[in-house]
Amino acid sequence: MPTGVALRDVREQLFDAADRVLLRDGPSGLTSRAVTDEAGVAKGVMHRHFDDFDAFLAEFVLDRVNRMDVQAAALREAAGTGTVVDNVADALTAVFQSVAVAIVPLITFRLQLRVRLRKQWPAGIPVLTDAAIMIAEYLLAERDLGRVSPAAEPDGLAPMLVGTGHLLFGDRTGPRPDAATVRKMVGDVLAGVLAS
């Protein structure tokens, strides 16, 4: 690989390359060599910016989790508009059509990554936990607006929605669920708590 080429944002370039490798080849294909080859940089570039590959992966996962903040804000803003079922279905689809669905097995696959993430993320699996928080906050806002029953428990419903969503989207090799399937799942989970 040529050296001396100025790289604008090395971290983002490497993270984007990791996205592509992870989505294409799964967690077992995500190696430092695969990432640097995909990014078109020398292998030493990664090691100049990260202590080791697990440090890179931990920062990659946390960066992708932080990207959900924009989506969470948009979902909170949607409270009171459209339908609750459509808003939740769209949010879940956005989460699971991103690299998030591939990050879950990556975290499960790599022990040292889990160890590093526990230092900054004490419970749950990043991405899934953030998605559950995002959905719970939205359902709470809808409950405050009267579109969800006052008896609803957003902190219990959100993990059910995220877990079921993960089951729908979890098979990277099969067809993705269509919008109607996701909407039906959300409608079934929320059927007893939607205001009529």
Domains of the chain, by residue range, sit at 10-49, 67-190
The predicted model gives 126-132 an average pLDDT of 83
CATH superfamily of 10-49: Homeodomain-like (1.10.10.60)
pTM above 0.85, yes or no: no
Beta-carbon neighbour count of residue 79 at 10 Å? 20
For residue 118, the model assigns a pLDDT of 79
For residue 69, the model assigns a pLDDT of 80
Beta-carbon neighbour count of residue 58 at 10 Å? 26
Beta-carbon neighbour count of residue 80 at 10 Å? 13
Nearby residues of 194 by Cβ (< 8 Å), 6 or more positions away: 84, 85, 147, 148, 149
Task: Kindly report the backbone phi and psi dihedral angles of residue 195, in degrees, each rounded to the nearest multiple of 5, phi listed first.
Answer: -70, 140
Average model confidence (pLDDT) for the chain?
87
Nearby residues of 86 by Cβ (< 8 Å), 6 or more positions away: 183
What is the band of 181 on the pLDDT scale with cuts at 50, 70, 90?
A: very high
